Amino acid sequence: MNATKSMPYRLGRVLEKVTRQSGRLGTPDYGSWLLGKPQESQARRRIRIQIILTFFILFTNILGIAVSLLLNTV
């Protein structure tokens, strides 16, 4: 029976259990701002995740540079 259910549905059910939202959501989305909506195309999701992760990496690198400069001047 699990083989007939779609991947977004199965992932949504797993995320429901992990986030303890079982019974509170009618039709679950993925449950994460990173993963987005099930209706979103694969290409759009990939690009959005790449952009989010790129900004996260840039932010952490800039933060690391700022901390190292601060420690260097002290």
Report yes or no on whether pTM surpasses 0.85: no
Question: What pLDDT does 41 receive?
Answer: 84
pLDDT, tens digit only, all 74 positions of the chain: 556 778 878 877 777 777 665 555 554 466 666 777 778 888 888 888 899 999 999 999 999 999 999 999 98
**Which phi and psi (to 5°) does residue 7 adopt?**
-60, -45
**Which phi and psi (to 5°) does residue 14 adopt?**
-65, -45
What residue segments make up the domains of the chain, in order of their start?
A: 1-33, 41-74
What residue has token string 């993925």? 30
Question: What pLDDT does 44 receive?
Answer: 86
10 Å Cβ neighbour count for 14?
13
